Structure 1
Amino acid sequence: MSLLLPPLALYIHIPWCIRKCPYCDFNSHEARTDMPEAEYVAALIHDLEQDQVLAQGRKITSIFFGGGTPSLFSAKAIGDILQAAERLIGFEPDIEITLEANPGTFEQEKFRGFRLAGVNRLSIGIQSFNQTQLQLLGRVHNRDEALCSADVARGAGFDNFNLDLMHGLPQQSVADALADLDQAIALAPSHLSWYQLTIEQNTAFYSAPPVLPEEDILVDIQDAGFQKLADAGYQQYEVSAYARDNRRARHNLNYWQFGDYLGIGAGAHGKITLPEKQAIVRQWKTRLPQHYLAAHNKIPAAVGGHLNSFNGGGEVLQAEALPLEFLMNALRLNDGVPGDIFQQRTGLTLAALQPQWQELVSKGLVNSDPAVLQTTALGQRFLNTILASYIRD
């Protein structure tokens, strides 16, 4: 099989936030002084100029501004970045452009500016509507700000927005978690990301772990929550993603279907297919904002033969690693991924998934039809077990 070029997305990382949350393990940094907005925008554009060749003639299908808190930047800054991306690479006519935002940074006029700049989707980090939980999570917004965020988004011209909501929070009961979910549903977003809090390394919660709900409470929350979401018309299409009216997150779907994406900004990751070299390359940019800003004048570093002065590292994915790399994304989707997508985007035949796949079929964890790589309902609950079958010794 030969590698084929998949769709191309763009991830843009803006690393500053008002305050670092104790559960957050992302590359985010508190903005203790004025953010160097103009300098960072110039660095992002320079970064993209050097990565432009990796588009290989493709236009961008989706853009995601992540962080940090990208909504701390001005609408002009976001617009300048988008104009540069369209000039350097080009946009598909129906491009999805998402900006992460937190309720504590919401001003309707500012968000109207984001909409006019080209952003057509928001992802709003609510996490909880419970004031006590918001304080335990270190959020900078309060309950009232969380409640008005949907109205502010709609008033600024956004009919497509996601709410991020966590469950399994410290001291949270089943009733508390479902009350949060009821409130989120009442705000009628087009998309909900509803996921369980996990304690990650290099976070304040890892150093001083809070007391989380016991396993039987977590199961009760999930079972009751799934039913509430389904009754409200939210279709689960991925482990923690639910959409109404088929407003699925196209940028995330590209990740899960093993598409390509450029990553610009401090610590941003990218994945690029190089058919001429029959290679798939992962790369990441230098992590600390001050080092990223200083990279304008660096000697370009090579990743997979590609030179970029902002490169922090990278690797060429070896053939034996590709089954796991593909499945750990694709099997998150309820509908799975067609088998021919696996072949086109890894350059491997379906035989590369054997004999593990057949053994998983015998255990009732995955679909027996090779035309669709998909878990069963049981397999969804044991996804880590499935993936462990493909971990190399």
Structure 2
Amino acid sequence: MLQLPPLSLYVHIPWCIEKCPYCDFNSHKLRGEIPETEYLSALIDDLKQDLHFVQGRELFSIFIGGGTPSLISASGMSWLLENIQQLLPFSNHIEITLEANPGAIENQKIADFKAAGITRFSFGVQSFQQEKLTKLGRIHGVEEAKTAAKQAHYVGMKTFNLDLMHGLPDQSLEDAMSDLNTAIALKPTHLSWYQLTIEPNTQYFSHPPKLPDDETLWEIQEKGVELLAEHGYQQYEISGYSQTGWQCQHNLNYWRFGDYLGIGCGAHGKISLPLENKILRTTKIKHPKGYLDPTRSYTDDCSTVDKDELVFEYMMNRLRLMEKIPFAEFESYTGLQRSVLNKQLAKASSKQLITIEQDYCHVTPLGHRYLNELLSIFMD
């Protein structure tokens, strides 16, 4: 029987100072001043319209992403969090993450955001080499990235993340390891380290840069995971590495097929409705102009996940994690019986992509290496 999983909240701030050439997120180059008061008020109204999805739960985590959320003032962020809490109870150990561009957040603002209620920063560093930052269209420099991390320590942030890419244009193994070593020296509790991919509707898609060959990419991945492990960063997710106990709780809720409300331009949500035995996907209006139009609903689409798609939906998220996958969780969060997995699990096991035990299954190292092949099995 379908049960209610933990509930998170995603908040989208859509503006950036510049649009990066690799970015396919819903972000818009800032022209003039951010309509901060109007947009923050709209976010709260948006949340109010979704409160019927809460179903008595408290908030497990909040993630404020973008765009560049650190462009919002600290006073505005404080107002936003206070108003969210008036509508929804926070769990005792709620994680509240703010994405921040090192080029759009000065030292005092880091302290002010912490005072406003932010418990975790995610700094979009991408690289510690100026040549690479320039090619990626980043507005910050190497020293700004280092300063942001140092300031997070200085103001007493218990946890923060550094966001790094590898497989960058003309990047060598030595370049990639240099980035990791610099990041490790700054002592974040968490590192997001993922390969640059060329996505449609980006500048890089129209004008592709020269990327490392497959052999170099694999060597970077292999050596990078070893280096991170040597320094106490355990890989708990495809691109997530953390010191013990400091995994990103918000992302864990995503990958464990938890529920989340999405408010703001283009934000997505996933909601379980046990009484109706169905799961919904929601999408909000994408463009700021439409989102702020008082004559329109904030919701652009709300649809039910077909029963035939639930196995793939669940596995598409769950297979990202390095941990075991409990069959009891699958049944609780999809409302399906374990038996519907038998055929696909047997096929994945025969290819040595998954091991199967009595109460759980576990992706093998080979399965993580060939994750797309493994996912394709659960599309059948």
Shorter-chain TM band: over 0.9
How far did 1:337 drift?
A: 2.2
Deviations along 1:88-137, whole A, 9 cap, x unmatched? Answer: 11100110000000110121211211111111000000000000000000
Equivalent residue for 1:301? Answer: none
Equivalent residue for 2:311? Answer: 323
Q: Which runs of 5+ in 2 are unaligned?
A: none
Deviations along 1:124-183, whole A, 9 cap, x unmatched? Answer: 000000000000000000111112121121223312000000000000011011101110
Larger CA deviation: 169-178 vs 77-86: 77-86
Amino acid at match of 1:47: D
Secondary structure in 2 matching 1:354: helix
- CA distance in 2 between counterparts of 1:53 and 1:370 reads 37
CA contact (8 A) 1:172 1:213 kept: yes
CA contact (8 A) 1:106 1:152 kept: no
Equivalent residue for 2:347? Answer: 359
Instruction: Tell me which of 332, 335, 338 is aligned to 1:350.
Output: 338
- Write out aligned runs for 1:1-393 (5 A): 2-294=1-293, 296-298=294-296, 309-392=297-380
Amino acid at match of 1:188: K
Give the alignment's TM-score, normalised by structure 2.
0.98
CA contact (8 A) 2:78 2:117 kept: yes
CA contact (8 A) 2:71 2:105 kept: no
- CA distance in 1 between counterparts of 2:358 and 2:127 reads 41
Amino acid at match of 2:75: K
Deviations along 1:273-299, whole A, 9 cap, x unmatched? Answer: 0011101000100000110011x333x
How far did 1:370 drift?
A: 4.5
Secondary structure in 2 matching 1:224: helix
CA contact (8 A) 2:107 2:148 kept: no
- CA distance in 2 between counterparts of 1:373 and 1:95 reads 29
CA contact (8 A) 1:331 1:373 kept: no
Amino acid at match of 2:317: N
CA contact (8 A) 1:330 1:336 kept: no
- CA distance in 2 between counterparts of 1:363 and 1:214 reads 26
CA contact (8 A) 2:122 2:162 kept: yes
Larger CA deviation: 273-282 vs 81-90: 81-90
- CA distance in 1 between counterparts of 2:325 and 2:27 reads 32
Secondary structure in 2 matching 1:21: coil
- CA distance in 2 between counterparts of 1:189 and 1:370 reads 37
Equivalent residue for 1:303? Answer: none
Amino acid at match of 2:348: L
Secondary structure in 1 matching 2:85: helix
CA contact (8 A) 1:108 1:155 kept: no
CA contact (8 A) 1:356 1:390 kept: yes
- CA distance in 2 between counterparts of 1:319 and 1:373 reads 21
Deviations along 1:251-283, whole A, 9 cap, x unmatched? Answer: 000000000000000000000000111010001
Deviations along 1:317-374, whole A, 9 cap, x unmatched? Answer: 1111011000011111111321111000000011111211111111111011152232
Deviations along 1:175-208, whole A, 9 cap, x unmatched? Answer: 0111011100110100000110000011000010
Secondary structure in 2 matching 1:141: coil
Amino acid at match of 1:114: F
Q: How many residues align?
A: 380
CA contact (8 A) 2:163 2:192 kept: yes
- CA distance in 2 between counterparts of 1:144 and 1:118 reads 26
Secondary structure in 2 matching 1:93: strand
CA contact (8 A) 2:14 2:26 kept: yes
Amino acid at match of 1:360: A
Secondary structure in 2 matching 1:58: coil
Structure 1 runs (4+) deviating above 2 angstroms are none
- CA distance in 1 between counterparts of 2:80 and 2:86 reads 10
CA contact (8 A) 1:4 1:345 kept: yes
- What RMSD in Å do the two structures reach over aligned CA positions? 0.9
Deviations along 1:191-227, whole A, 9 cap, x unmatched? Answer: 0001100000110000100010001101111111111
Q: Which runs of 5+ in 1 are unaligned?
A: 299-308
Give the alignment's TM-score, normalised by structure 1.
0.95
- CA distance in 1 between counterparts of 2:325 and 2:378 reads 17
Secondary structure in 1 matching 2:12: strand
Amino acid at match of 2:292: L
